[in-house]
Amino acid sequence: MTAMSRAHDDLWIDTADGRLFARRWHSALPAPSARAPLVLFHDSLGCVALWREFPQQLADVTGRELIAYDRLGFGQSDPHPGRLERGFVHDEATGGFGAVHAQLGLDGFVAFGHSVGGGMAIATAAAHPDACRALVTEAAQAFVEDRTRTGILAARTAFAAPGQLERLARYHGDKAAWVLHAWIDTWLADDFADWQLDDALGQVRCPALVLHGDQDEYGSTAHPQRIGARLGDAACVHLLPGVGHVPHRERADAVLALVSGWLAEHAR
């Protein structure tokens, strides 16, 4: 799909621990001013730049503004001062996103998260029930599964090969090693093995679209099933056949159509 426009603004968000880089895309389509913007939450190795052309495409097909930001330690944001704590997924809702929410004056928004960002989107919807108009998760993990750990172990081996860390450095600079270890060490830690999102899911009050590839190498279909079961009638679960962990890259047209159609019906 060819994007209709290439309009975006770069922003900086101040937090107690450092500055966050954010980008806001504008749709080429006319839209009601009251339509809530989409906020993207990136995955464990991701950043604004790694969403590539998807944000502009999504802005154009939905007629909404789109906002994405680099979490602390990622992309163009400032370095993280330490290690990720066990509660980092839940904490993002009031930490990094809390600063984005306050400084950009987001009275209403739609939370869209990929992978661990999907968990953060869930936590954000739970923490901001009056402002979050809708929730979209893509390849989100709702608990720690053997398949997730196996996939991360395989990735750890792959990233040990010459030149692989340099690939991450293109997007994260000298923070690349921290980014990699923040993912691997956190998810493989013994004290993270019983982590889950059930408590946050019980506090979500908005409609939700749950997208998951049935060939996801980092999480089985038990994840969308669990998310859907906890959210009940508010959730629409959609499995994408033959799709792995990055549906918005592997099947961009399908994801754009599903999200735009669902939002038109469920979120103002």
pLDDT digits (tens, 9 = 90+) for 122-148: 999 999 999 999 999 999 999 999 999
What φ, ψ does residue 236 adopt, rounded to 5°? -115, 110
pLDDT of amino acid 7? 78
Which residues have a Cβ under 8 Å from the Cβ of 230 and sit 6 or more positions away? 142, 197, 198, 201, 202
pLDDT of amino acid 32? 52
Q: Residue 4: pLDDT above 70?
A: no
Strands 132-138 and 109-114: parallel
Q: For the domain 8-266, what is the CATH superfamily, name and number?
A: Alpha/Beta hydrolase fold, catalytic domain (3.40.50.1820)
> Max alpha carbon distance in the chain (Å)?
50
Q: At what angle do helices 252-266 and 54-62 cross, to 10 degrees?
A: 40
Q: Please, are residues 132 and 113 in contact by the beta-carbon 8 Å criterion?
A: no
Across the chain, mean pLDDT equals: 95
Whole-number Å distance between alpha carbons of 112 and 136? 5
Query: CB atoms < 10 A from the CB of 93, how many?
Result: 24
What would the two tokens of residue 11 be? 């922003």
Whole-number Å distance between alpha carbons of 237 and 122? 14
Q: Per residue in 225-267, pLDDT tens?
A: 999 999 999 999 999 999 999 999 999 999 999 999 999 999 9
Q: Please, are residues 65 and 59 in contact by the beta-carbon 8 Å criterion?
A: yes
State the DSSP code for 14: E
Strands, E assignment, the chain: 8-15, 18-25, 38-41, 66-69, 109-114, 132-138, 208-213, 235-240
The dihedral region occupied by 170, where left means phi > 0, alpha psi between -120 and 50, and beta the remainder, is alpha
Q: Residue 154: pLDDT above 80?
A: yes
Q: Per residue in 164-191, pLDDT tens?
A: 999 999 999 999 999 999 999 999 999 9
Cβ density class 119-131: b for 16+ within 10 Å, e for less: bbbbbbbbbbeeb
Q: Which residues pair with 18 in a beta bridge?
A: 15
pLDDT of amino acid 30? 64
